[in-house]
Structures are given as C-alpha cells and as structure tokens.
C-alpha cells in the first residue's frame, strides 16, 4: 500500500500551513511547557502570558475575518494542542470579541478593534445570562436610550440578568460587548450589541459594574470566567455596534432589519464562526489525545503468549475494537470539517449572508465533533489505564475540554433541534436537494454481503432520507390530532428530532469526506478510503437495529457487516504501524508529545521508572549537578581570561572570549545530553588553551608569580 505521511498530514491540515509551522516554532518557548499544582490565579495569569506570546508572533488578526478566514480556524486548532485555557481565551479575544467588533461595528469602532491584535484591548463577549442561556432573545439586560444626554444606560434588573460564564471577564478584559434589549422611546427594539468599558486603565472596575470570579471548575481553570452585572452604567451614543441599527445625531432610531427577532438572529450569526472555532479546538485536542495514546500503546508491553511482557497493548483486540473506530471517525470528521470551513470562509470573502444550508452545516458539525471528542477522551483514558489518569500526561485534559465544547456557543442538543428545524424548512420550500443513491433500499435488502464503499455511503443517505420523511409524517399526523408543534417536538418526539439532525450530519460527513478523498493524491487515497470504510462500518453497525427493523439490511447482510468490520482491523493495523513510524502522523508537533508517558516508553527506558514518584526530582537533581559542573568550568575560563589579560595576548583573548560567548548561548539548554556534551567541549577547550600557553613558553605558575610581585606579596 502506497503511503506518504507528510502528504497525509498536509491533507488533514488542508490550509494555513505557514501559520501552523509558526505555531510549532514559537511554542518551543518554555512558557508553553505544561505546569501543574498552580493556584487558580497563577493558572489564569499563565494563560494570559501564553496569549501574549501568540499575539507577539502575529499569527492571528481580526482582519482575517475579511482576508483569510481559514487562518482563524487554524489558529484555534493549533492552540488546542498547547493548552485548552489558552485556546479558550484566544477564541473569545479574537473571534467573539474582536470578530464581533470588526464585523458588526463600523469605522468608528476600528480604533478599539485594532487593539485586539496587540492585546492593548482585551475584551469579553457578554451574551449568556444566568436565567437566559438557550433563550437569549428574552434576556433581561436593557440598554435604555437617554435622549437628553444622548447616552445609553446599561442595566441588569435582576439576579437572573447577570451575564454568566464570561471568559476574560473575571480578571483580564477592559471592554465587553454586551447584548441587551434596546429600549428606545419606551419601546423595546430587540436585542442589540454595545461596546462597554468595564475596567479603567489602572485595572480598577468601572463605576456601576460588578464583576465576580466564578471560581474553580471541572477543567480549564486558566480561563477567567466571570459574572458581570450592570447598574445604570452610562455609555456614549457611538457605543452601539451599528452595522444594522443606529441612532443618528438627531436622536432617531433606524434599522435595516424590520423584525425584532430577526435583529437578534442577525447579531447571533456571529456564533456561527464561534461554533466552527469550537469545532476546530475540539478536533485538534482529539487528534492530540489519539496521537498520545496510540504511540503509548505501541510501546506499552503487556503479557504475551509465553507469559512474558513482550506484546504491545496495541495488538490486543480489545484496544483495536474500541480505539480504531474512534480514530477513523475523527479523521472522517476532520476531512468533512475542512470542506465546511471552506464553504463558510467563501461566504465571508464574498460578503454573503450564510445560507440556511450553511447554517445547518455550521450547527451540526460542532455537536458531532465535540461529542466525538468526549467519546475519545472516555475511551483513551480507560484503555491507557493509570497513565491516562495522571495530569502530566494530558489525556485527562480532553474530558473537560470536550464537555466545555458541548455547551459552548450553543448546547449541542439545542443546536441539533435547530438543524432539524432549518432542514425541514428547506424541504417545505422545496429548496433541499435530497441525496441520491446508487442502490435502492430494496436492492440492498437482497444483498448477503455488504462491504462496498458506495453501498455503505448509500446506507447513510437512506437513513437521512427516511428520517426526513418520518419526521414530516409524524408532525403532520399529530398536528391533525390537535397537538401543537411545541408539544410534538419538545415533549413527545424529541428523540426523532435529534436523530434526524444526526442522520443529516452523518450523511454530510460521509459525502464531504468521500468527495475530498476522491480528489486526494494516490499515495494517500487508499489509506483514507480504509479510514472512511471503517468509520461507516462502525456507524452502520451501531444503528444495525434500525436498518433491520426498517427492512433495509437482512440478517445475512448484518452478519457480514460485523465480520467485515473485524476484518478491516487487520488491514488497519498495517496502516497504523506505518503511521506510527511517522512521528507526526496526525500533524501533532513532537514537542507537545514530550510528556512523562512518552519519556519513559518512546525512549525505551525501564518500566520501573513509571512507579518512581521521585523521578522528576531525580531529573532536576541531575540537571543541577551538571549545571554546577558547568559553573565551575566557566569560573576556570574566566580565570584563564584574567591571566591572559596580563600577557596582553590578543590571540588567546579571542579564543577565550569565543568560549565564553558559546557558553553563554548554550547555558540555558536544560537537556542533560546536551549539557554533558558541553562539559566535554569545555574540558577540551580548557586543555587547548593550556597547550597554547605552553607553546608560548608561558606557565600558569609564572603568571601567578607575576601577579604576586605586582601586588607586593613577594
């Protein structure tokens, strides 16, 4: 089987290669080394310091939304490898705050927007309220127009109206984009967005603003989530983000959007990019976890046929049955997600509103990717065993990150209802193109063996088409019986509504992945098809009951799917071994895999080191001893330089100074091997200088005598 690991990486990355490479380089900075046992305050400050390094390297800009949207998502994926807290602060600063300011604001807001890239302006996105999470259109926070003073008055009338889960809010931001009901001439004009300063230049909280840290969380404690409350906070007239609505200099309100609900939906469209950003973070962290676990499993030896610990756990059917389908699913999601990002980016570049179908794509891919991240985290932590439970190995980070993504930028299940609603809306308007099958369900039902890729894709398409028709029929039938749409969807048939959206998402992933694989290079096409087949087989196997009940797959066909699925693993192992040889098979940079779990097994160190609780302390002691030796050597070098000064020998001075410069440059390298080589180097150079002195017929004792005579000691 032909296979090119580098092209495989490039295919999964798809875009923004230069940005990704920059991340791999600047994250070598020691500040990005994972740290544990820090206080909450220290974790949050560390996340900010890391964000500053990102800003200094200029890999991300709010202008990317109009010039290079794909770069936005690439930065989110790269950040997720390094630190989930960093990635979360990054998405709020650059996407939710900066992106909203840039896309919903106008020329008068550019000065503040330009400070986003440099972190001169740090912002937060104040949408969610304690009492109004999934029903934000009914939020209580108000922005009342004061015609006499030409100001808006921001107010939180109750405890339920406080802005909740506001990232960057607790400590670091000085501005907030506040969503509030605009009250103009005592009439509610719907939800609008306002730029509100919440901290002064000295860091103190502005008058009328209350901020409270939300405290310790399940994970991502480097994120300074806060809750904000406003009491009659006055802001200037130009604080409203006025792309769609504004109040002119004569105090007249105007809006290009007539309906109040549509005004909210328009400003809430900013969450579409947010959902893709969350999906980017989740797909990145999922690949990171899979890479870590698979490399560990390839080295972790367990009992073999002879009773010896000579068989890697990756060879066990238990590991393969649980991990491989998730790996295949992750790669399929990655490929399809790349296509969705391209479609969304093109709409931004062409200055077009997102079509209803594009809204469905953005809303369905986030749940699919974040749910998969949760499943991967659960599986890997279990299969890796005790090493998965250690914080230092970073697998445990996947769980809180996944659950954060499941609720961020829209609860997954709520988004799936939105997908079903939008999808059926397109069907009713005859604007939805049903997927076309190569094989009918009657033809497939006659088959005794199901293993062809086209048949597998057809089965995914059939399930979507069947669920669309099923939900339409059940909705119409129950409405004829006097039930309203809310009762049907929310109280009786929600499982079907959720499954419709999931079937749509599965079909999109299958079709998009297949299309992109068909356009890939030959040296990666077959491995990619193998991944896709395994993912589809697992999907169909998990839904085998539905296919059999609906007479789409017969008993023999069902048996062949289970058999074929197991047979695929044999081929899959061969491919996986090739991938494992390529150290960056999921494009995860080597530095970020230098975990304790890797240090012991990848370098083939003794297994006993795993249970040595003092191992890290021993490592530090070794480094200290070597640094002490280097310190003694440098004192000797300076002493030689001091002696040579009296000889007025410029040639010797030049060589000794060169040695000092080299030492100064390398002294900060902490790796033991490099420092050991440095010791040998300095010993060699020291002997080299002594030889030079001897060739000049100068002995060190003569120089010492010279110094003593000069000081009057002899």
Active-site residues, by number, are 409
Q: Which of 134, 126, 128, 76 is nearest to 415 (CA)?
A: 134
Q: Are 464 and 504 in contact (CB under 8 A)?
A: yes
Rounded CA-CA distance 331/688 in Å is 57
Percent helix, strand and coil across the chain, each to the nearest 5: 65, 10, 25
Rounded CA-CA distance 13/77 in Å is 10
Q: What number of CA atoms fall less than 13 Å from residue 72's CA on the CB side?
A: 30
Tokens representing 260? 């109040």
Q: What's 404's DSSP letter?
A: H
Rounded CA-CA distance 275/39 in Å is 30
508-527 CB burial, b ≥16 within 10 A, e <16: bbbbbbbebbeebeeebbbb
Rounded CA-CA distance 193/178 in Å is 6
Rounded CA-CA distance 662/649 in Å is 20
Instruction: Give the C-alpha distances (Å, rounded to integers) separating 232 from 188, 193, 537.
Output: 17, 16, 59
Cβ count within 10 A of residue 661 = 10
Q: Which of 34, 241, 37, 208 is nearest to 123 (CA)?
A: 241
Give one DSSP letter per residue of 217-276, joined into a string: -SS-TTS--EEEEESSEEEEGGGB--SSEEE-TTS-EEES--SHHHHHHHHHTHHHHHHH
* Residue with the two structure tokens 């996944």: 402
Give one DSSP letter per residue of 542-590, joined into a string: HTHHHHHHTTSS-HHHHHHHHHHHHHHHHHHHHHHHHHHHSTTTTS--G
Q: Are 171 and 44 in contact (CB under 8 A)?
A: yes
Q: Are 524 and 8 in contact (CB under 8 A)?
A: yes
Sheet containing strand 163-166, edge to edge, reads 163-166, 226-230, 209-213
Q: Is 277 left (phi over 0), alpha (psi -120 to 50) or beta?
A: alpha
Rounded CA-CA distance 299/312 in Å is 6
Query: Is residue 234 packed enough to be buried (19+ CB in 10 Å), middle (13-18) or exposed (0-12)?
Result: middle
Q: Are 389 and 396 in contact (CB under 8 A)?
A: yes
Q: Residue 192 forms beta bridges with which residues?
A: 180
Rounded CA-CA distance 684/372 in Å is 56
Alpha-helix residue ranges (DSSP H) falling in 429-554? 441-445, 453-480, 485-486, 494-518, 522-542, 544-549
Q: Are 124 and 172 in contact (CB under 8 A)?
A: no
């Amino acid at each position: 089987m032909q296979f090119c690991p580098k092209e495989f990486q490039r295919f999964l990355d798809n875009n923004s290669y230069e940005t990704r490479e920059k991340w791999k380089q600047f994250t070598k900075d020691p500040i990005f080394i994972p740290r544990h046992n820090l206080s909450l305050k220290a974790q949050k400050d560390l996340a900010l310091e890391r964000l500053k390094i990102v800003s200094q390297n200029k890999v991300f800009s709010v202008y990317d939304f109009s010039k290079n949207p794909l770069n936005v998502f690439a930065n989110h994926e790269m950040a997720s490898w390094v630190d989930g807290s960093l990635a979360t602060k990054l998405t709020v600063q650059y996407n939710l705050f900066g992106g909203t300011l840039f896309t919903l604001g106008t020329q008068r807001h550019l000065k503040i927007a330009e400070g986003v890239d440099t972190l001169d302006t740090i912002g937060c996105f104040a949408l969610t309220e304690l009492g109004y999470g999934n029903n934000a259109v009914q939020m209580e926070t108000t922005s009342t127009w004061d015609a006499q003073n030409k100001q808006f008055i921001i107010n939180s009338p109750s405890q339920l109206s406080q802005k909740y889960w506001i990232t960057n809010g607790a400590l670091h931001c000085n501005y907030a984009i506040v969503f509030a009901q605009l009250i103009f001439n005592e009439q509610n004009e719907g939800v609008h967005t306002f730029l509100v300063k919440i901290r002064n230049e000295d860091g103190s909280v502005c008058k009328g603003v209350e901020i409270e840290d939300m405290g310790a969380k399940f994970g991502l404690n480097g994120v300074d989530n806060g809750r904000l409350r406003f009491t009659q906070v006055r802001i200037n007239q130009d604080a409203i983000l006025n792309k769609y609505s504004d109040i002119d200099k004569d105090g007249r309100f105007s809006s290009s959007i007539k309906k109040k609900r549509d005004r909210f939906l328009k400003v809430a469209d900013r969450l579409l990019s947010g959902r893709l950003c969350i999906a980017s973070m989740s797909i990145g962290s999922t690949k990171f976890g899979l890479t870590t676990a698979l490399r560990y499993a390839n080295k972790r030896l367990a009992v073999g046929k002879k009773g010896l610990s000579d068989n890697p756990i990756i060879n066990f059917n238990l590991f393969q049955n649980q991990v491989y389908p998730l790996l295949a699913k992750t790669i399929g999601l990655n490929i399809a997600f790349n296509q969705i990002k391209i479609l969304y980016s093109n709409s931004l570049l062409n200055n077009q509103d997102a079509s209803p179908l594009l809204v469905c794509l953005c809303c369905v891919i986030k749940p699919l990717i974040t749910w998969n991240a949760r499943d991967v985290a659960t599986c890997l932590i279990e299969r890796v065993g005790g090493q998965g439970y250690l914080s230092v190995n970073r697998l445990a980070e996947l769980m809180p990150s996944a659950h954060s993504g499941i609720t961020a930028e829209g609860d997954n299940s709520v988004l799936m209802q939105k997908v079903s609603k939008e999808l059926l809306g397109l069907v009713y308007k005859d604007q939805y193109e049903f997927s076309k099958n190569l094989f009918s369900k009657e033809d497939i039902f006659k088959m005794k063996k199901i293993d062809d890729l086209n048949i597998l894709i057809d089965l995914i398409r059939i399930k979507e088409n069947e669920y669309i028709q099923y939900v339409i029929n059940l909705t119409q039938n129950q409405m004829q019986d006097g039930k309203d749409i809310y009762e049907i969807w929310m109280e009786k048939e929600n499982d079907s509504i959720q499954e419709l959206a999931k079937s749509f998402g599965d079909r999109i992933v299958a079709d998009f992945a297949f299309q992109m694989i068909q356009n890939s290079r030959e040296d990666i096409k077959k491995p990619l098809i193998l991944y896709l087949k395994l993912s589809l087989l697992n999907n169909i196997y998990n839904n085998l009951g539905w296919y059999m009940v609906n007479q789409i797959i017969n008993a023999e066909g069902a048996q062949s799917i289970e058999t074929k699925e197991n047979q695929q693993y044999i081929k899959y192992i061969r491919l996986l071994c090739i991938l494992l040889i390529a150290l960056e098979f999921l494009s995860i940079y080597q530095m970020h895999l230098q975990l304790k779990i890797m240090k012991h097994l990848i370098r083939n160190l003794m297994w006993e080191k795993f249970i040595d609780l003092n191992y890290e302390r021993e490592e530090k002691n070794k480094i200290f001893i070597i640094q002490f030796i280097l310190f003694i050597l440098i004192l000797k070098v300076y002493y030689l330089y001091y002696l040579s000064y009296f000889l007025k020998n410029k040639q010797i001075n030049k060589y000794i100074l060169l040695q000092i410069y080299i030492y100064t440059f390398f002294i900060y390298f902490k790796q033991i091997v490099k420092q050991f080589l440095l010791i040998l180097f300095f010993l060699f150079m020291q002997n080299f200088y002594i030889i030079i002195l001897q060739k000049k017929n100068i002995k060190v004792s003569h120089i010492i005598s010279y110094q003593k005579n000069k000081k009057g000691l002899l």
